[in-house]
Amino acid sequence: ETGVTQTPRHLVMGMTNKKSLKCEQHLGHNAMYWYKQSAKKPLELMFVYSLEERVENNSVPSRFSPECPNSSHLFLHLHTLQPEDSALYLCASSQADSSVDTQYFGPGTRLTVL
Amino acid sequence: DAKTTQPNSMESNEEEPVHLPCNHSTISGTDYIHWYRQLPSQGPEYVIHGLTSNVNNRMASLAIAEDRKSSTLILHRATLRDAAVYYCILRDPYSGTYKYIFGTGTRLKVLA
C-alpha cells in the first residue's frame, strides 16, 4: 500500500466509449501526476497538477482530458481512444515543494481499447 | 535533464548480493540520484536516493562515485521478491519542472 489508489484496475473500452480513470492519494501531497506505460517502453509523463493547477501537459492528444478537483483526487477522462492508447496508466503523487520530491505511485489501470 | 545508462538485464542468485550499476556522466551539481523499482503488475516504488554521500536504508544501499558520474544500487541479499525493473533517475529539485525521466531500467532476475 503506497497511499495512492486507482480505480478501476482494469478497463476494456471501445473506440467510441467515454470512460474515466480515478486516482486518490491519502498522503497529503500537493502534486499529482498521470503517466502512460506502453508495452516495452519507458514511462511517459502525461500531465502534472500542482496545487490543483495543471503545470505540465506533455503534448498529450485531446482525447485524454485530466481533471483535478482537489489536492487528493485526480481523474483522466477518456473519449474516442485508439487501439494504440492501450497501456498501463499510472497515477503518482508527491510533495512538490520539498527538496526531494519522492513520487508515490498507484497500482495503475490496465486499459485495453478495442 | 541529464541522462542515465543502465544494463538492460541482470541475474542474481537468491540470498546473494546484487550490484546494479548506473552511469550518469553528464550529472550536474544539483542533480539527486534516485532509484525506483517496478515489481510485476505494479507501479514503480521508491527505493533510495542520494546526492554525494553513500546512503543506506532498510531496502538497499546506494554507493556514489567520488566524481558522481556513476552510482551503484546494492541489494545485500537478493530474494525472489526483488525481481523487478530497477530505474536510476537524476532529478534536479531546482529545475522548475516536475519531470522524472524514467529510462528502460535494468530488469533483475533472481534465481532460486
What's the distance, CA B83 to chain centroid? 14
B69-92: average pLDDT: 95
B44-66: average pLDDT: 95
Predicted pLDDT at B73? 98
Residue A4: closest CA among chain B residues belongs to which residue?
B43
Cβ-Cβ contacts under 8 Å, B43 against chain A:
2, 4, 90-92, 105-108
A34-46: average pLDDT: 91
Q: Minimal CA–CA distance to A93: which of A20, A44, A28, A22?
A: A28
Predicted pLDDT at B1? 54
Cell of B32: 539527486
Q: Alpha-carbon distance B56 to B54, whole Å?
A: 7
CA distances from A17 to A34, A74, A75, A86, B83 (A): 20, 20, 16, 14, 37
Q: Alpha-carbon distance B63 to A48, whole Å?
A: 31
B94-111: average pLDDT: 86
Scored b (16 or more CB within 10 A) or e, A9-26 reads eebebeeeeebebbbbbe
Q: Alpha-carbon distance B50 to B67, whole Å?
A: 14
Of B36, B93, B105, the CB nearest to A100: B93
Q: Alpha-carbon distance B62 to B48, whole Å?
A: 7
A37-65: average pLDDT: 88
Residue B98: closest CA among chain A residues belongs to which residue?
A48
Q: Is B7 on the interface with A (CB under 8 A)?
A: no
**CB contact (8 A) between residue B43 and residue A33:** no
Which residue's entry shows cell 525481481? B83
Please determine, for residue A7, whether its predicted confidence score (pLDDT) is greater than 70. Answer: yes
Where residue B2 falls among pLDDT bands split at 50, 70, 90?
A: low
Please determine, for residue B56, whether its predicted confidence score (pLDDT) is greater than 60. Answer: yes
Predicted pLDDT at A2? 78
Cβ-Cβ contacts under 8 Å, B32 against chain A:
100
Where residue B77 falls among pLDDT bands split at 50, 70, 90?
A: very high
Cell of B84: 523487478
pLDDT tens-place string over residues A101-113: 889 999 999 999 9
**CB contact (8 A) between residue B32 and residue A100:** yes
More reliable by pLDDT, B83 or A52: B83
Cβ-Cβ contacts under 8 Å, B99 against chain A:
45, 56
Predicted pLDDT at A96? 80
Q: Minimal CA–CA distance to B45: which of A96, A107, A112?
A: A107
**CB contact (8 A) between residue B104 and residue A98:** no
Which residue's entry shows cell 544501499? B61
Please determine, for residue B85, whether its predicted confidence score (pLDDT) is greater than 90. Answer: yes
Q: Minimal CA–CA distance to A39: which of A91, A84, A70?
A: A84
**CB contact (8 A) between residue B100 and residue A103:** yes
Where residue A3 falls among pLDDT bands split at 50, 70, 90?
A: very high
CA distance A24 to chain B (A): 14
**CB contact (8 A) between residue B93 and residue A98:** yes
Q: Alpha-carbon distance A3 to A28, whole Å?
A: 10
Using DSSP, state whether B81 is helix, strand or coil.
Answer: helix
More reliable by pLDDT, A69 or B95: A69
Q: Alpha-carbon distance B80 to A1, whole Å?
A: 19
Predicted pLDDT at A100? 76
Of A55, A98, A105, the CB nearest to B43: A105
pLDDT tens-place string over residues A20-36: 999 999 999 999 999 99
Predicted pLDDT at A48? 92
